Amino acid sequence: MSDFNGASFSSGFKWLLGLAALMIVLGALKVAEAIVVPMLLAIFIAIICAPPLAWMTSHKVPPWLAILLLVFTLMIFSWVLVLFVGSAIDTFTLRLPTYQARLQEEAVKLLPFFERLGLPVTREQFLNHFNPGSLMRLAGNALTNLGGLLTDLMLIVFVVIFLLMEATLLGDKLHKALPSAEHSLEQADDFVRKVNKYLVIKTTISIATGFLITTWLWFLGVDFAPLWGLVAALMNFIPNVGSIIAAVPAVLLSIVQLGLPDAALVAAGYIAVNVLMGNVLEPRYMGTGLGLSPLVVFLSLMVWGWMFGPAGMFLSIPLTMIVKIALEQSPSTRWVAIMIGN
């Protein structure tokens, strides 16, 4: 009996020790947010760039030329983002007070409807409990944080360059450093391949989502259509709630700018695009086993968002998916991957 209690105590102590170590690591990452976020984004971009880099090198393109082509593409993309998206964010921020005031005026028009339902509500009570202008302000703050992240884009690109240069040599280094670790290297290759598959497919679908949303909003005449397309592409990395978060500012703006009928068309476009991408194309190409339970998605948003702010919310699901794929590689931790999966 004493041996059983001792074993239980030892097992429980190990779990508590592991939990305490996890809290310390998370706290350290929170403190180092200014360094960790650009590094995580750089790793994220480098993983996406790894397949085209491997394809070019396998087709006799010199590694230095392949990296140069990828870097040139990244630089052009970064320049376009900083130039157009940055200016759009600045313009939207300047117009934000006007949008908020007009949105409040539209919301107050609902008061006669509540009176007909036998729910007399004053203007002050209504705006205190339901103020759509505050939602627009939250969207403005999130876009301001996104603009601040764009200022770190050049630093991120430089880190990506060095990561890609290292990636071309990493395989040879590992084989020389660990000549008897073929099984471990096979597991590492399988892990990297699954992470590449997830990120590349998810990024491709997110870009397509952003393009379709931009086209639809531009067709309807909504201001800052490319900006809302970028937001939709970024939020597509967050399943279930990401599409709702992305649609809110565009729908509110369309109410102010175009009126309720066209705002309903905007919302319908968001629903159609996300049903097509999230329920048809993504499951078809992603396959089974690359999903997370809704509870894990919500907790991931809370934890990573607390640690790294809006950038953490964007990275929350890719980071959690990478953790899940890593847990699947070992029989002793595969049960955890099953529990957090969908």
**What does each of the 342 residues of the chain score in pLDDT, given as a tens digit?**
545 455 555 666 777 787 788 788 878 888 888 788 888 888 888 888 878 888 888 888 888 888 888 888 888 877 777 777 777 777 877 887 787 777 777 766 766 766 666 666 666 666 666 666 666 666 666 676 666 666 677 778 888 888 877 776 666 666 666 555 555 566 666 777 777 888 888 888 889 999 999 999 999 988 888 888 888 988 888 877 778 888 888 888 888 888 888 889 999 999 999 888 877 887 777 765 566 777 888 888 888 888 887 777 778 888 888 888 878 777 777 887 788 877
For residue 342, what are the contacts with CB-CB under 8 A and spacing of at least 6? 291, 292, 293, 294
Q: How does DSSP classify residue 238?
A: S
pLDDT of residue 292: 76
Q: Write b or e for each residue in 229-243: b if 16 or more Cβ atoms lie within 10 A of its Cβ, otherwise e.
A: bbbbbbbbbbbeebb
Give CA separation, 216 vs 23, 140, 238, in Å: 44, 22, 21
pLDDT of residue 275: 86
pLDDT of residue 272: 92
Q: CB of 265 within 8 A of CB of 258? A: no
- Nearest alpha-carbon partner for 268 in 276, 282, 238: 276
For residue 41, what are the contacts with CB-CB under 8 A and spacing of at least 6? 149, 152, 156, 311, 315
pLDDT of residue 218: 92
Write down the pTM of the prediction.
0.75
